[in-house]
Amino acid sequence: MPHPERLPRRARLTNRLVRALPLAQRGQYVVRDQTLPGFFVVVGRRTRTYTIQVDTRRLGRRRTVREAVGRVEDWDAGEARSEAKTRIGALQTGAREATTRRGRVTLRAAWASYRDYLQQRVAAGERSQRTLDGYEDSVERLLKSWLDTPLRDLSDDAHGVAERHREITIRHGPYAANHAMRALRAMYRYARKTRMERGLPAEQPTDAVRFNNETRRSTGMSRDELADWHLQLRALPNPVRQEFHLFMLLSASRPDALRRARWEHLDVGRRVLHFPDPKGGARRAFDMPISRAMLRCLVRARRAGRVMHGRAARTFIFPADTPTGHISETKENRGKLAKWGGDLRQTYRTAAQAVGLGEMDVHLLMNHSLGGVSAGYITPGALLDHLVAQQAKVSQHLVDGLLKK
């Protein structure tokens, strides 16, 4: 009996040959068929198995498919070769069909149509520009390699989509991965609903995705922590950005809406700053009550803005040297400013609780949606004086903490 290392690695697989192959002493070895590429015998320590292997492309990626046909003892070599040929042909045909673009709607086409739909909703005040920007980032950055992939292929390979979700999670984080999959799901549903392609499967491409858990981080500050944060804030080199973050703390504003705030929307007499296009679009427009501490913050922002960005400062409360004329990037190096963005919003909510504000007042001050039929009857404008007084309570609590040291 020849030693496995001396056996040919490629030969015509016959009954006589394969049944005479010695079992491996350790691991496995392979003898490939000379006449049918992708067909071979895998010899292990206990079994000899007819096997096929085919390279295909799915979702823009190369994949190697390997399948066992059956044990040598159970199959005639000729029958095993015939079965292998059939399976290899089916896999190759499926791969060719998966790359066919004619008559099929691709992700790129679905995104173009869905983007137009979102733009219409933004114009109608039903969605915010931030929502549209988020979808665009997910599709054109995280799902870019799939833009020319037919939607049908994505539906047919739900496990491949799930694998992409895991990859995005590792590279870009759990929230980005979830958002990308939600964007894909929304576009697919839109394509089916609008009959962009007849006969699109009802099965969603994201059916096999196990979405990452999303929990709200507890990053708010106590009043005792505010003084140290205030020292970090005043050490920032840009005074406009200093007042931007301070106003966020005092108002619980969302960064995207606040960075676009305009002087024309400030009504000092009524003590409100109007936000025409906050999160949720124009239908969620609201007047934010302004405390004296918040007004002083705005005065400092105006002075600094006029010095640093004269023309832009005529329009925007927080101007910057950007194409838009206002602050575009609201993040800071946490080594220089430990808390910003959502951290400040959580700090405000914590302060509101500490001074005893009721749940409904907090919802109105933070522009949260009002749940329940009864809440829907509330007219915020009729409560303006009350809300300004409540805002003042929160501001005083925060300012006391900021100036403690």
Contact predicate 63/56, CB 8 Å? yes
- DSSP string across 366-394: TTPPPPSTTGGG--GGGGHHHHHHHHHHH
Closest-CA residue to 198 (of 146, 152, 147, 157): 152
The identity of residue 192, as a single letter, is: R
Same-domain pairing of 271 and 331: yes
CA distance 399 to 343: 17
Please report the pLDDT score of residue 10 as a whole number: 85
Whether residue 2 is predicted with pLDDT greater than 90 in this model: the reply is no
Tell me the C-alpha to C-alpha distance, in Å, between residue 322 and each of 72, 97, 299, 328, 337. Answer: 71, 48, 22, 7, 22
Query: Residues near 46 by Cβ (< 8 Å), separated by ≥ 6?
Result: 23
Its sign, for the CA torsion 319, 322, 328, 330, is negative
Task: Calculate mean pLDDT across residues 345-371.
Answer: 87
As beta bridge partners, residue 67 has: 52
> Does 207 map to a domain?
no
Please report the pLDDT score of residue 98 as a whole number: 44
Same-domain pairing of 343 and 294: yes
Lowest mean pLDDT among 150-154, 205-209, 283-287: 283-287
Check residues 9 and 111 and name the one with the higher pLDDT: 111
CA distance 58 to 52: 18
Task: Calculate mean pLDDT across residues 245-261.
Answer: 92
Please report the pLDDT score of residue 350 as a whole number: 92
Residue 274 backbone dihedrals phi, psi, to 5 degrees: -85, 135
Residue 339 DSSP SS3: coil
Please report the pLDDT score of residue 373 as a whole number: 46
As beta bridge partners, residue 316 has: 262
At residue 392 the predicted structure's pLDDT band, cuts being 50, 70 and 90, is very high
Please report the pLDDT score of residue 93 as a whole number: 65
Percent of the chain with pLDDT strictly greater than 70: 88
Same-domain pairing of 62 and 113: no
The angle, 0 to 180 degrees and rounded to 10, between the axes of the packed helices 226-234 and 239-251 is: 150
Contact predicate 271/263, CB 8 Å? no
Looking at residue 75, which CATH number applies to its domain?
3.30.160.390
Please report the pLDDT score of residue 286 as a whole number: 84
Same-domain pairing of 238 and 339: yes
As beta bridge partners, residue 62 has: 57
- DSSP string across 159-178: HHHHHHHHHHHHHH-HHHHH
Please report the pLDDT score of residue 61 as a whole number: 63
Which residues span the domain enclosing 146? 107-193
Residue 266 DSSP SS3: strand
Same-domain pairing of 91 and 112: no
CA distance 10 to 151: 41
Please report the pLDDT score of residue 339 as a whole number: 93
Residue 353 backbone dihedrals phi, psi, to 5 degrees: -70, -40
Tokens representing 203 are 């099965």
Alpha helix (H) residue ranges in 215-341: 226-234, 239-251, 255-259, 292-308, 310-313
Same-domain pairing of 44 and 131: no
Task: Calculate mean pLDDT across residues 99-122.
Answer: 80
Last-in-domain residue among 56, 77, 98: 98
Same-domain pairing of 253 and 382: yes
Last-in-domain residue among 140, 173, 193: 193
Last-in-domain residue among 68, 98, 128: 98
Please report the pLDDT score of residue 59 as a whole number: 56
Tokens representing 147 are 């833009």
Please report the pLDDT score of residue 130 as a whole number: 76
Contact predicate 232/336, CB 8 Å? yes
| Cα–chain center distance at 76 | 53
Please report the pLDDT score of residue 165 as a whole number: 95
Looking at residue 394, which CATH number applies to its domain?
1.10.443
> Does 210 map to a domain?
no
Same-domain pairing of 26 and 51: yes
CA distance 151 to 187: 9
Same-domain pairing of 230 and 309: yes
> Does 127 map to a domain?
yes
Please report the pLDDT score of residue 181 as a whole number: 96
At residue 272 the predicted structure's pLDDT band, cuts being 50, 70 and 90, is very high
> Does 58 map to a domain?
yes
CA distance 176 to 333: 20
Please report the pLDDT score of residue 254 as a whole number: 87
> Does 206 map to a domain?
no
Please report the pLDDT score of residue 87 as a whole number: 82
> Does 218 map to a domain?
no
Same-domain pairing of 88 and 154: no
Same-domain pairing of 257 and 386: yes
Burial string for 66-104 (b: 16+ CB within 10 Å, else e) reads: eeebeebeebebeebbebbeebbeebeeebeebeeeeeb
Contact predicate 132/115, CB 8 Å? yes
Q: Residue 313, Cβ neighbours under 10 Å: how many? A: 23
At residue 150 the predicted structure's pLDDT band, cuts being 50, 70 and 90, is very high
Query: Residues near 132 by Cβ (< 8 Å), separated by ≥ 6?
Result: 115, 118, 119, 122
Domain count, the chain: 3
> Does 122 map to a domain?
yes
Percent of the chain with pLDDT strictly greater than 90: 52
Task: Calculate mean pLDDT across residues 202-219.
Answer: 86
Whether residue 96 is predicted with pLDDT greater than 70 in this model: the reply is no
Whether residue 271 is predicted with pLDDT greater than 70 in this model: the reply is yes
Whether residue 23 is predicted with pLDDT greater than 50 in this model: the reply is yes
- Give the pLDDT confidence of 293-312 residue by residue, as tens digits: 999 999 999 999 999 999 99
The pLDDT mean for the chain works out to 87
Same-domain pairing of 9 and 131: no
> Does 204 map to a domain?
no
Residue 202 DSSP SS3: coil
Please report the pLDDT score of residue 123 as a whole number: 76
Please report the pLDDT score of residue 127 as a whole number: 76
The identity of residue 151, as a single letter, is: L
CA distance 343 to 330: 13
Lowest mean pLDDT among 250-264, 340-354, 359-373: 359-373
Tokens representing 139 are 């599709």
Residue 70, H or E segment: strand 61-71
Q: Residue 224 gets which letter from DSSP?
A: G
Please report the pLDDT score of residue 366 as a whole number: 87
